[in-house]
């Protein structure tokens, strides 16, 4: 019944350091970098680095297979009692590597049924996979939505690869946005808590952000996380001005009137481990694989 589902969901969310401000000093997340490919091209991205939609630019995470991810999870779980969430946030797009993402969730779930799973995606493939995501028991999904208007979106995305076709310009933006919005609705209808990340890009989408927040609220999003543009070196936006904390918080304060805002995001690596402000990923090294020796 619905009440039971929502009570269970709220209990989970109380232990999720990104969805709950109170949880972020107590509970740790672990990102497993099992998703290297991406199906779109954002102008602020440099493919050599982690996905900017959920990560700190300029950082490259080592890719793990689902089996290695499980091995690492078991190692981390032993030493990090605060661990509550396993997230898949790249280094590319979680859904563009669906087989690996799904397998990782299945393996970790078998080993630790209580763990909370979290996915971050650009949303292009949500209409395809929302049903499977729900079946896996995932309750927390982040979708990055930077624009509702193809005229704005055309300045943010270089191309979108969808169902064997490459879209560019306005067409690419329109395709991506339609799937993002339809996807958010599907996730919400399946009882998931949707976080929407918005990258604030000066003179491109900044004045448009309150409209995005209003729209995703209408679709049932739980929270928005307005993030600063930190232009990745070598990306098309490399010379763009970054967004400073004051501008960012000003925008969050405006949008707070409509929807809950995240103020404590740390733009973590695709392989981050630990409390949000205290990355301990360097402490957890897997022994080399047999074929590495
Ligand atoms: Fe990871 Fe993202 Fe899940 Fe959190 S991060 S997939 S929702 S478990 Fe959190 Fe990191 Fe900010 Fe992301 S602080 S970048 S919001
Ligand atoms: Fe890069 Fe992430 Fe955009 Fe893909 S979705 S192009 S990995 S920033």
Query: Does residue 89 line the site of ligand 2, with CB under 6 A?
Result: no
**Which strands make up the sheet holding 223-228, listed edge to edge?**
223-228, 193-200, 140-144, 116-121, 83-88, 28-31, 273-274
Structural domains in the chain (count) = 1
pLDDT of residue 88: 96
- CA 85, CA 264: separation in Å to the nearest integer? 17
Question: What's the whole-model pTM score?
Answer: 0.93
Tell which wins on pLDDT, 132 or 240: 132
Q: Is residue 288 part of a domain?
A: no
Q: Is residue 215 part of a domain?
A: yes
Mutate to test the pocket of ligand 2, among 44, 92, 230 (most ligand atoms within 8 A of CB): 92
Which residue has a Cα nearest atom 11 of ligand 1?
A: 265
CB-based contacts of 176, cutoff 8 Å, min separation 6: 40, 122, 123, 124, 153, 157, 160
Q: Is residue 290 part of a domain?
A: no
Q: Is residue 293 part of a domain?
A: no
- Band the pLDDT of 58: cuts 50, 70, 90: low
Mutate to test the pocket of ligand 1, among 95, 120, 226 (most ligand atoms within 8 A of CB): 120
Query: Does residue 87 line the site of ligand 1, with CB under 6 A?
Result: yes
Tell which wins on pLDDT, 292 or 142: 142
Q: Which domain holds residue 138?
A: 2-277
Query: Does residue 120 line the site of ligand 1, with CB under 6 A?
Result: yes
Q: Is residue 38 part of a domain?
A: yes
Q: Is residue 291 part of a domain?
A: no
ipTM for the predicted complex: 0.94
Q: Is residue 135 part of a domain?
A: yes
Q: Is residue 282 part of a domain?
A: no
| Residue 213 belongs to domain with CATH number | 3.20.20.70
Query: Does residue 94 line the site of ligand 2, with CB under 6 A?
Result: no
- Band the pLDDT of 1: cuts 50, 70, 90: very low
Tell which wins on pLDDT, 272 or 291: 272
């Amino acid at each position: 019944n619905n009440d039971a589902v929502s009570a269970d969901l709220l209990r989970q969310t109380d232990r999720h350091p990104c969805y709950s401000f109170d949880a972020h000093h107590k509970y740790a997340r672990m990102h497993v970098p099992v998703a290297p490919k991406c199906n779109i091209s954002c102008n602020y991205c440099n493919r050599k680095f982690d996905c900017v939609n959920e990560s700190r630019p300029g950082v490259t995470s080592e890719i793990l297979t689902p089996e290695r991810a499980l091995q690492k999870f078991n190692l981390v779980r032993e030493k990090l009692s605060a661990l509550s969430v396993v997230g898949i946030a790249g280094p590319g797009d979680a859904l563009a590597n669906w087989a690996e993402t799904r397998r990782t969730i299945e393996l970790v779930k078998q080993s630790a049924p209580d763990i909370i799973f979290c996915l971050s995606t650009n949303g292009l493939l949500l209409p395809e996979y929302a049903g499977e995501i729900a079946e896996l028991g995932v309750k927390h999904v982040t979708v990055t939505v930077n624009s509702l208007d193809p005229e704005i979106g055309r300045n943010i995305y270089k191309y979108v690869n969808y169902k064997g076709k490459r879209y560019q310009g306005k067409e690419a933006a329109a395709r991506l946005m339609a799937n993002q919005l339809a996807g958010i609705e599907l996730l919400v209808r399946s009882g998931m808590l949707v976080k929407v990340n918005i990258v604030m890009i000066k003179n491109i989408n900044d004045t448009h952000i309150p409209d995005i927040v209003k729209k995703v609220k209408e679709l049932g999003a739980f929270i928005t996380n307005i993030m600063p543009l930190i232009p990745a070196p070598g990306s098309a936006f490399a010379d763009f001005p970054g967004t400073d904390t004051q501008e960012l918080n000003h925008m969050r304060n405006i949008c707070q009137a409509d929807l809950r805002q995240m103020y404590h995001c740390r733009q973590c690596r695709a392989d981050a481990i630990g409390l949000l402000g205290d990355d301990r990923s360097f402490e957890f090294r897997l022994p080399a694989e047999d074929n590495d020796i």
